[in-house]
Structure 1
């Protein structure tokens, strides 16, 4: 996967993929923090402007859709789930 921050494009296997603004925002936040596990609360605040852990369903759906778009085969798991805590971007090609 390649993220071009200037053009705000994402490519997987040289093919550009189309993400919603919310999916792109989550991806960028994760990509900018690859060494950290980002909590549900942090992601909810940064993306949706809320810290309520009761609102995690939107986050879970967004992560699932994002994974479907960027993890085109099972060998490339870019987003790791830390159960009960949050998510972490674990690998980027560039």
Structure 2
């Protein structure tokens, strides 16, 4: 993250990446709370960091969603189960949820 590329080649890689993305978004939440509690510490670097986290999560979500979708199309039972569990049982791409954040 932040200058490194997370390699995703299997549905399990995609799910691991989504776990990583979840952790980053929780960190983003903490950073936003801290900035609201002490606005004097906020500067352009803070906004750059926030933008970078959101961009990285969006990219990761799109990539993972596509990989899981391809696993569904290939008929892999494991990939299908992972895709349904990772997407909450719905057919909505993960990237849309990340963009909304």
TM-score calculated relative to the size of structure 1: 0.33
Give the number of the structure whose alpha-carbon radius of gyration is greater: 2
Structure having the larger proportion of residues in helix: 2
TM-score calculated relative to the size of structure 2: 0.32
Structure having the larger proportion of residues in strand: 1
